[in-house]
Amino acid sequence: MASLAELVREHTDLGAPELSHLQRLVASWGLLADLSFADLLLFVPLEGGEGDGRFLVIAQIRPTTNQTVYRQDFVGQVVDEIDRPFVARAIRTGEIVEGEMNLGLSLEAEAERVRVMCLPVRSGDEVVAICSRESLPSFARQNGDLERVYNNVFVRFAQMITAGTFPFPENGAEGEEAPRVGDGVLVLDGAGRVEYASPNAVSALHRVGVHANAQGMRLSELGLEEAAIRTAMGTGSPITEEIERGQDVTVLLRCLPLLADGGVTGALVLLRDISDLRSRDRMLVSMDATIREIHHRVKNNLQTISSLLRLQGRRLTSPEAKVAIEESVRRIRSIALVHEILSRAAGDEVPFNEIVRPLVRMVEDSVSSPERPVRFVVEGDAGTLADRVATPLAVVLTELLQNAVDHAFPEIAEDHDEVMAEGHVLVSLRNHGDELLVQVTDDGVGLPSTFVLEDSPGLGLSIVRSLVVSQLGGSIVLRGRAEAHGTVAEVRVPLGAPQHSER
């Protein structure tokens, strides 16, 4: 189904300001449907002007406070003046039109007629659409205090729509947490005193410690801060704030000023108890802090292990053993670096480039010297990776960099007065959304003609192959460069797919 914006752009002459006005109306009209206990449909004239007499339904909403009228969805349907005479009359006169009619549609309840109230939607000086309130006369709710007050408030909003003062230029918070009519309603008069409090609003006030009868009282007289109310009524704009009572109770308050004749005549205050939501938020924050602390401790433990291994390595006399210890220390430092970044990050994802550059510097510092110059360059962006990918990939990259240094650039001749030509290692990172491509390219001596990765006896390449294939579910290829000396190590890692377990 096409969106409201797509329908408006494709089928009408309305410009960007008018479209924005209609989008704000639809973003906030759940309030209107609940207050009126009715379905709402939004009609716009088709391209060619109102004289054409044809209209397009661009939005529809059902109430949460009453039974819906229609089983079907009318968004995208075209109607004409004969089918919708009240819509045509409202757009021609620019005034609210009410009446009853037989629409000949599939109704949710068995009824022949529908009560219709068509509201001209004014943006600036022009009527750009018609908002139609539609309900079943025979299934109307009994008019108690709640129904009477809600309908009266809806009429006040209807007059604001016709005057072009609703929706407000800035709607503020209209997300999932935004309170609805069913959460609790206070109706305030022009002086900010409570004219009506719904049962759910009374319950919300009880949650924040207000047990007195709110009728005729200001919120400040009830012991509540009313700065948001004063601001909303003073500026004629909606305001949202949270009322907290300790760590256990949080009530979200949203104040919508009611406007008439250029002034504020009252306000509708919606209250929603969001204590459970805020409790879960605090739990998530605490859990996130705990996870970061765990990463920090793991990093410290790995650094301790690395230090112990270096101490052990100094006591060894075997060159092979010293090399093995140094390689183990390097691998542990790679993993520690990932945990260090995760200890500062929110969540279990990390920008991998923040890991790559320290890894490159670590390898560069261990091998670069005037007698053996190697220049490292990093290009591209790996994006943000989950820790289950970043940790083994850091070890893989470290091994590939060390492998390039050890094998691409042979040791210099015994004549130490001879200086090697500078070697180059390029690390290229490409994140394609569903796949990460990592290439380590050197301009060294290249691969032997008999080289086969699967048959390579080296421990480093064996670790790389195991991590890439078994743990990351990816692939690795080592090949010679097409037009120059050197080697390309290419690793492809799927992103977003379930990772394989290491065997």
Name residues whose C-beta falls within 8 Å of residue 378's C-beta, 6 or more positions apart in sequence.
353, 356, 357, 360, 426, 427, 429
3 state DSSP class of 121? strand
Q: How far is CA 193 from CA 243, 351, 471, in A?
A: 18, 53, 65
**Cβ-based neighbour number of residue 168 at 10 Å:** 17
Percent of the chain with pLDDT over 90: 33
Structure tokens belonging to residue 334: 């790679």
Note whether 487 and 461 are within 8 A (CB): no
pLDDT of residue 111: 53
What are the boundaries of each domain within the chain?
Answer: 4-144+151-163, 181-273, 275-347, 355-412+419-503
Query: CA 479 to CA 288: how far, in whole Å?
Result: 43
Q: Do domains 4-144+151-163 and 181-273 have the same CATH topology?
A: yes
pLDDT for 411 beyond 60: no
The amino acid at 406? D
Note whether 162 and 145 are within 8 A (CB): no
Name residues whose C-beta falls within 8 Å of residue 369's C-beta, 6 or more positions apart in sequence.
none
Query: CA 78 to CA 109: how far, in whole Å?
Result: 24
Instruction: Report which of 155, 115, 106, 110 is spatially closest to residue 136, judged by C-alpha positions.
Output: 115
**Cβ-based neighbour number of residue 467 at 10 Å:** 22
92-151, pLDDT tens digit by residue? 999 999 998 876 555 554 456 889 999 999 998 899 999 999 988 754 445 788 999 999
Give the mean pLDDT of the chain: 83
DSSP code, position 81: T
Of residues 453 and 489, more confidently modeled: 489
Tell me the residue ranges of DSSP E strands in 204-298: 239-245, 249-260, 263-273
CATH of the domain spanning 355-412+419-503 = 3.30.565.10
φ/ψ of residue 39, rounded to 5: -75, 150
Of residues 319 and 430, more confidently modeled: 430
pLDDT of residue 264: 94
Name residues whose C-beta falls within 8 Å of residue 93's C-beta, 6 or more positions apart in sequence.
120
Number of H helices, E strands in the chain: 12, 18
Note whether 37 and 154 are within 8 A (CB): no
Query: CA 53 to CA 99: how far, in whole Å?
Result: 19
The CATH architecture to which 4-144+151-163 belongs is 2-Layer Sandwich (3.30)
269-294, pLDDT tens digit by residue? 999 887 777 777 677 777 777 777 87
pLDDT of residue 17: 92
Name residues whose C-beta falls within 8 Å of residue 207's C-beta, 6 or more positions apart in sequence.
245, 249, 251, 273, 275
pLDDT of residue 502: 41
| Superfamily of 181-273 according to CATH | PAS domain (3.30.450.20)
3 state DSSP class of 431? strand
Of residues 472 and 455, more confidently modeled: 472
pLDDT of residue 290: 73
Q: Which residues pair with 329 in a beta bridge?
A: none
178-201, pLDDT tens digit by residue? 788 988 999 999 999 999 999 999
Structure tokens belonging to residue 450: 């008999």
